[in-house]
């Protein structure tokens, strides 16, 4: 009897000790300010206020704080991912799936109305700001284009997407770049393409926009180690890091970018960001990451010309490769600035215009202001 | 506070269990009551006072009622004592719904009607927020008052003990509906045996796993396909199955956690679910599903109305009243009324046809091949009928409107194709959790566990008079410990990774 009681006591004791140890660890372990793998600022400890207690928002904030700083958080997230993938046999975790070492985020179903709205917004910009300019548009294939359908995952109907855009944007010239890329041209843990592997895409753009003879071919390729893309954190799977490279030469190094929001001029590659411990995404070294409006000036460009690109983050790594063909490139991201105010900041005269969006933006076009 | 929250699991629970364990017996009710009030106030501080006021009123009125039971005044007090909790339930749960419906009939399109209420502040009469758990604690209060009135139990002399009974955090916000009659002795004097404590931990961990690992994951699946169930017939059925399983694992998981926590605190709570989805009839289903609610309606509504010892017309009336009330207990909406009546009608049909079934059972006594085959077919047919009826019922239950529910039901047979590529992906992606849910909804895992328990003699080990403990017994208990640890870690991992964590039954 004593022995059986002892075993049960050990059981109860272990249970209580486990709960208490986790609680104590939470209290004593240092709290991180940022989660680099998830690329977000973690919750701060909520302040106790009467209003917060009365409407229970304090309790919600406290739970969020506990979840964000729970001991062994990353290991627990990996455990969940392992259980979902390997035990329950899910084909994705948090909408991230992995095929042949490439992580991608599911995007479906296709919203035709969103794509048509995106096209309408592009058309409205053309009519308002640059009705007489030469306007081009291209769709950057996302990783699902290469991975989803071929591996049994739901995907967008890319042909339909292309057709919808073409039917709407009759006054713009379409540049198809789908066949200039393969899945190997993308980071395995990130949504973006690799700058060192988009030469064919640049050539295709140059061919149709008429700057083939100014395409740069000689670069020095510099390595940045231990790059973990956005899907690494979201998937919570033990994916390996990879190296990212940036291409540079005299033309790029002499060029500068001016950020309209901060009024600051910086080099094209913001390598000083790598020294910043709070840097969430190393991809931000390309033109400083998400910026509403920025102007790149290229004093060594072989051709005088202005190009305005309405863009998403893919263009950050593409634009530097065009700096020999245009002495000024203006990048506009209408996810961060309202289209209605653009006239106050951007001179559209004598400029060519390129719309360059990936399908994830087009399929969620409410983010375009 | 949610059981499946970090706040509860790693802060509230260990502190309460340790405090509760170290204080003397006389102080246990006090600790439990204070902890329960904190638990309730954590989510809805204002409504804690509503509950406490009702407890104080019920306490006062039952003291008087008990003394004046055989007088007219006693009857008036009894009616008043019962009306107060029901009026509160009606106001917070049904008033907005009825008001909106009346305004709709009158042709008004008013969406809000804000008034100032002392203590509560501004109150929108058309969108009154439902206090968490009000349906559960109202039914507990009423059962206590009625039992005292009937003389089946004595009125509780201690306000603290009554408050402890009503507010007890394991069962406060989602049941099971614990009757005072079965708890009164434990409120006065209880002991927690270490075996019960250990078993309570296992039960709690299983419930947590059912809620976090199965119900929440099925909830993700339901959300994923909620707009797509019209894509294919296969997806429409998968949706119905996932909705049903989600509700079952959510609710039964909560009940398991409550029973487990009750055991840790020295209480024996009634079982609430007994594998309802294996039932061979809807009558059996309701004997296995939310058993404490079913027995409450039986004892406090159906039998007082005359039960089945009346003429057929009155019996039909009684059935319809009980099932309409069961429906609207679950929520203020027409879909809940239809849901209740759906079961009411089918149960009536079953009961009326019971005699015919009995005759068929007699035929099978001959044990000819044909009769055995017929019995087999009938048995399968009965299970299929129950499952289809239950799946349809939960589509009614789950819809935001009757139109939405009707569309989901139509999709089961009218979706344009049997299966498309998207459906294949969706089903493959969630096949694992669906399989776990289907197996988990049957007694198979429990039977396997019982066989293993017998094989290794662990049960014997846990008996008080057990004298020998073998190595296999120790290993078996260690396996239990490891399983509980794995479940806790996995549940924590799911909580840390995701934010999808609503308890479905909170809105009741």
Instruction: Classify residue A238: in a domain, yes or no.
Output: yes
Instruction: Classify residue A88: in a domain, yes or no.
Output: no
What is residue B507's predicted lDDT score, i.e. its pLDDT? 43
Is residue B246 domain-shared with residue B395, that is, in the same domain? yes
Spatial CA neighbour of B492 closest among A206, A71, A92, A176:
A71
A76 → closest Cβ in B467, B469, B492: B492
Spatial CA neighbour of A204 closest among A183, A177, A185:
A177
Instruction: Classify residue B12: in a domain, yes or no.
Output: no
Instruction: For residues B413 and B428, give the distance between their C-alpha atoms in angstroms, rounded to a whole number.
Output: 21
A73 → closest Cβ in B428, B477, B496: B496
Is residue B52 domain-shared with residue B183, that is, in the same domain? yes
Instruction: Classify residue B496: in a domain, yes or no.
Output: no
Instruction: Classify residue B227: in a domain, yes or no.
Output: yes
Structure tokens that stand for A267 in this block: 């080099």
Is residue B85 domain-shared with residue B181, that is, in the same domain? yes
Is residue A132 domain-shared with residue A27, that is, in the same domain? no
Structure tokens that stand for A348 in this block: 């559209």
Instruction: Classify residue A94: in a domain, yes or no.
Output: no
Is residue A126 domain-shared with residue A38, that is, in the same domain? no
User: In a 3-state reduction of DSSP, which class is residue A245?
Assistant: strand
Is residue B165 domain-shared with residue B220, that is, in the same domain? no
DSSP B418: S
Q: How many domains does chain B divide into?
A: 2
Instruction: Classify residue A89: in a domain, yes or no.
Output: no
Q: How far is CA B502 from each of CA A29, A133, B113, B420, B495, rounded to the nearest angstrom?
A: 29, 53, 28, 31, 11
Q: Which residues contact B162 (CB under 8 A, 6 or more apart)?
A: B55, B58, B59, B144, B156
Instruction: Point out the domain boundary residue: B390, B417, B440.
Output: B440
For residue B436, the chain A residues in CB contact (below 8 A) are: 88
- Percent of chain A that is helix, strand, coil (3-state, to 5): 45, 20, 35
Instruction: For residues B191 and B177, give the distance between their C-alpha atoms in angstroms, rounded to a whole number.
Output: 22
Instruction: Classify residue A96: in a domain, yes or no.
Output: no
- Range(s) of the domain holding residue A48: 2-72
What phi and psi, each to the nearest 5 degrees, are found at residue A55? -95, 10
Is residue A187 domain-shared with residue A283, that is, in the same domain? yes
Instruction: Point out the domain boundary residue: B190, B219, B244.
Output: B190
Instruction: Classify residue A78: in a domain, yes or no.
Output: no
Structure tokens that stand for B387 in this block: 């499952």
Is residue A39 domain-shared with residue A165, that is, in the same domain? no
Pairing of strands A352-357, B121-124: unpaired
Is residue A183 domain-shared with residue A326, that is, in the same domain? yes
Is residue A283 domain-shared with residue A342, that is, in the same domain? yes
Is residue B236 domain-shared with residue B209, that is, in the same domain? yes
Is residue A179 domain-shared with residue A56, that is, in the same domain? no
Instruction: For residues A105 and A86, give the distance between their C-alpha atoms in angstroms, rounded to a whole number.
Output: 18
Is residue A167 domain-shared with residue A227, that is, in the same domain? yes
- Range(s) of the domain holding residue B169: 32-190
Largest interatomic CA distance in chain B:
77
Is residue A31 domain-shared with residue A150, that is, in the same domain? no
Instruction: Point out the domain boundary residue: A24, A52, A72.
Output: A72
Instruction: Classify residue B470: in a domain, yes or no.
Output: no
DSSP string, B102-162: HHHHTT------EEEETTTEEEETTSPPPPTTHHHHHHHHHHHHHHHHHTSSPPPS-HHHH
Chain B residue with minimal CA distance to A2? Answer: B467
Task: Say if the Cβ atoms of A88 and B480 lie within 8 Å.
Answer: no
What is residue B464's predicted lDDT score, i.e. its pLDDT? 45
Instruction: Point out the domain boundary residue: A72, A92, A118.
Output: A72
Q: How many domains does chain A divide into?
A: 2
Structure tokens that stand for B449 in this block: 């566990």
Task: Say if the Cβ atoms of B10 and A23 lie within 8 Å.
Answer: yes
- pLDDT tens digits in sequence order for chain A, 369 residues long: 566 778 888 889 999 999 999 999 999 998 888 877 777 788 889 998 888 888 889 999 999 999 989 999 889 999 999 999 999 999 998 889 999 899 999 998 889 999 999 999 999 999 999 999 999 999 999 999 999 999 989 999 999 999 999 999 999 999 999 999 999 999 999 999 999 999 999 999 999 999 999 988 899 999 999 898 888 888 888 888 999 999 999 999 999 999 988 899 999 999 888 888 777 788 999 998 888 999 999 999 999 999 999 999 999 999 999 999 999 999 999 988 888 888 888 888 889 999 999 999 999 998 888
Q: Which residue is it, tokens 């959300």?
A: B223
Is residue B350 domain-shared with residue B259, that is, in the same domain? yes
Task: Say if the Cβ atoms of B7 and A59 lie within 8 Å.
Answer: yes
Residue to substitute from A80, A86, A107, interface B, most B β-carbons within 10 A: A80
Instruction: Point out the domain boundary residue: B415, B440, B465.
Output: B440
What phi and psi, each to the nearest 5 degrees, are found at residue A32? -75, 150
Instruction: Classify residue B310: in a domain, yes or no.
Output: yes
Instruction: Classify residue A83: in a domain, yes or no.
Output: no
Is residue B108 domain-shared with residue B81, that is, in the same domain? yes
Is residue B267 domain-shared with residue B206, that is, in the same domain? yes
DSSP A107: -
Is residue B364 domain-shared with residue B316, that is, in the same domain? yes
Angle at B241 between CA B381 and CA B321, to 5 degrees: 75
Q: How far is CA A233 from each of CA A38, A312, A319, B429, rounded to the nearest angstrom?
A: 5, 21, 27, 21
User: In a 3-state reduction of DSSP, which class is residue A51?
Assistant: helix
Is residue B254 domain-shared with residue B389, that is, in the same domain? yes
Greater pLDDT, A36 or B289: B289
**ipTM of the predicted assembly exceeds 0.85:** no
Is residue A328 domain-shared with residue A290, that is, in the same domain? yes
What is residue B501's predicted lDDT score, i.e. its pLDDT? 42
Instruction: Classify residue B459: in a domain, yes or no.
Output: no
Q: How many CB pairs below 8 A link A and B? A: 136
Instruction: Classify residue B490: in a domain, yes or no.
Output: no
Residue to substitute from A3, A4, A149, interface B, most B β-carbons within 10 A: A4
Is residue A114 domain-shared with residue A48, that is, in the same domain? no
For residue A94, the chain B residues in CB contact (below 8 A) are: 497-498
Task: Say if the Cβ atoms of A77 and B421 lie within 8 Å.
Answer: no
Q: What is the mean pLDDT of residues B453-466?
A: 57
Is residue A133 domain-shared with residue A240, that is, in the same domain? yes
Rounded to a whole number of angstroms, the CA Rg of chain A reads 25
Instruction: Classify residue A49: in a domain, yes or no.
Output: yes
Is residue B218 domain-shared with residue B258, that is, in the same domain? yes
Is residue B103 domain-shared with residue B240, that is, in the same domain? no
DSSP string, B329-391: HH-SSHHHHHHHHHHHHHHHHHHHTHHHHHHHHHHHTT--HHHHHHHHHHHHHHHHHHHHHHH
Render pLDDT for B39-64 as a digit per residue (tens, 0 to 9): 999 987 888 999 999 999 999 999 99
What is residue B467's predicted lDDT score, i.e. its pLDDT? 54
Instruction: Classify residue B469: in a domain, yes or no.
Output: no
Pairing of strands A328-332, A306-311: parallel
């Amino acid at each position: 009897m004593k022995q059986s009681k002892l075993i049960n006591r050990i059981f109860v004791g272990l249970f209580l000790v486990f709960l208490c140890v986790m609680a104590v660890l939470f209290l004593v372990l240092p709290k991180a300010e940022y989660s680099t793998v998830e690329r977000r600022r973690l919750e701060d400890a909520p302040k106790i206020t009467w209003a917060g207690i009365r409407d229970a928002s304090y309790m919600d904030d406290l739970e969020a704080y506990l979840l964000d700083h729970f001991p062994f958080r990353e290991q627990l997230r990996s455990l969940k991912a392992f259980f979902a993938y390997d035990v329950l046999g899910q084909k994705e975790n948090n909408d991230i799936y992995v095929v042949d070492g490439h992580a991608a985020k599911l995007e479906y179903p296709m919203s035709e109305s969103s794509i048509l709205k995106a096209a309408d917004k592009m058309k409205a910009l053309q009519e308002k700001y640059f009705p007489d300019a030469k306007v081009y548009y291209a769709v950057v294939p996302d990783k699902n284009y290469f991975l989803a359908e071929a591996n049994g995952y739901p995907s967008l109907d890319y042909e339909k997407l292309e057709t919808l855009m073409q039917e709407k944007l009759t006054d713009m010239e379409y540049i198809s770049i789908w066949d200039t890329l393969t899945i190997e041209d993308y980071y395995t843990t990130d949504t973006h393409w690799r700058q060192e592997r988009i030469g064919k895409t640049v050539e295709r753009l140059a061919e149709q926009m008429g700057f083939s003879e100014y395409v740069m071919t000689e670069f020095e390729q510099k390595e940045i180690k231990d790059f973990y893309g956005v899907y690494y954190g979201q998937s919570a799977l033990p994916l390996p890091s990879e190296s990212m490279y940036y291409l540079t030469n005299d033309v790029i190094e002499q060029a500068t970018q001016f950020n309209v929001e901060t009024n600051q001029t910086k080099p094209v590659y913001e390598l000083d960001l790598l020294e910043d411990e709070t840097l969430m995404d190393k991809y931000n070294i390309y033109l400083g990451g998400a910026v509403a409006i920025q102007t790149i000036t290229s004093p060594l460009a072989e051709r005088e010309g202005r190009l305005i690109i309405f863009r998403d983050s893919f263009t950050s790594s593409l634009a530097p490769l065009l700096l020999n063909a245009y002495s000024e490139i203006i990048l506009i991201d209408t996810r961060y600035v309202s289209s209605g105010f653009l006239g106050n900041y951007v001179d559209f005269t004598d400029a060519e215009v390129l719309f360059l969006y990936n399908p994830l933006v087009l399929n969620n076009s409410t983010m375009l202001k | 506070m949610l059981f499946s929250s970090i706040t509860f699991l790693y802060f509230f629970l260990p502190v309460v269990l340790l405090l509760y364990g170290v204080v003397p017996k006389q102080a246990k009710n006090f600790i439990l009551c204070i902890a329960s009030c904190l638990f309730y106030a954590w989510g809805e501080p204002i409504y804690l006072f509503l509950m406490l006021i009702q407890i104080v009123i019920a306490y006062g009125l039952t003291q008087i009622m008990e003394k004046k039971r055989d007088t007219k005044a006693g009857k008036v007090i009894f009616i008043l004592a019962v009306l107060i909790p029901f009026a509160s339930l009606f106001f917070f749960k049904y008033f907005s719904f009825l008001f909106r419906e009346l305004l709709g009939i009158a042709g008004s399109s008013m969406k809000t009607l804000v008034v100032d209420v002392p203590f509560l502040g501004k109150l929108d009469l058309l969108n009154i927020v439902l206090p968490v758990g009000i349906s559960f604690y109202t039914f507990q209060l009423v059962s206590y008052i009625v039992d005292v009135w009937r003389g089946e139990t004595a009125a509780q002399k201690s306000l603290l003990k009554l408050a402890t009974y009503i507010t007890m955090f394991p069962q406060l916000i989602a049941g099971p509906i614990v009757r005072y009659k079965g708890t009164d002795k434990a409120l006065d004097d209880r002991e927690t045996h270490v075996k019960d404590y250990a078993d309570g931990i296992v039960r709690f961990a299983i419930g947590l796993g059912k809620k976090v690992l199965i119900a929440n994951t099925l909830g993700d699946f339901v959300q994923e396909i909620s707009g797509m169930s019209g894509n294919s017939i296969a997806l429409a059925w998968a949706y119905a199955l996932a909705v049903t399983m989600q509700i079952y694992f959510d609710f039964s998981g909560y009940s398991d956690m409550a029973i487990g926590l009750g055991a840790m605190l020295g209480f024996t709570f009634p079982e609430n679910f007994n594998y309802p989805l294996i039932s061979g009839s809807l009558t059996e289903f309701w004997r296995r599903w939310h058993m404490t609610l079913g027995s409450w309606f039986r004892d406090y509504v159906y039998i007082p109305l005359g039960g089945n010892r009346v003429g057929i017309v009155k019996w039909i009336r009684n059935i319809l009243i009980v099932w309409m009330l069961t429906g609207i207990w679950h929520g203020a909406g027409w879909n809940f009324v239809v849901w209740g009546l759906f079961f009411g009608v089918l149960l009536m049909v079953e009961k009326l046809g019971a005699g015919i079934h009995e005759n068929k059972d007699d035929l099978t006594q001959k044990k000819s091949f044909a009769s055995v085959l017929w019995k087999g077919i009938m048995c399968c047919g009965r299970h299929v009928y129950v499952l289809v009826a239950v799946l349809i019922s939960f589509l009614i239950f789950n819809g935001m409107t009757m139109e939405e529910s009707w569309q989901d039901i139509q999709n089961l047979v009218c979706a344009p194709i049997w299966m498309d590529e998207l459906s294949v992906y969706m089903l493959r992606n969630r096949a694992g959790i669906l399989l776990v849910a289907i197996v988990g909804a049957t007694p198979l895992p429990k039977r396997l566990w019982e066989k293993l328990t017998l094989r290794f003699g662990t049960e014997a080990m846990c008996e008080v008079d057990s004298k020998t403990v073998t190595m296999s017994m120790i290993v078996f208990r260690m396996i239990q410990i490891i399983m509980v640890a794995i479940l806790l870690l996995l549940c924590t991992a799911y909580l840390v990774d995701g934010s999808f964590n609503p308890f479905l039954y909170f809105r009741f």
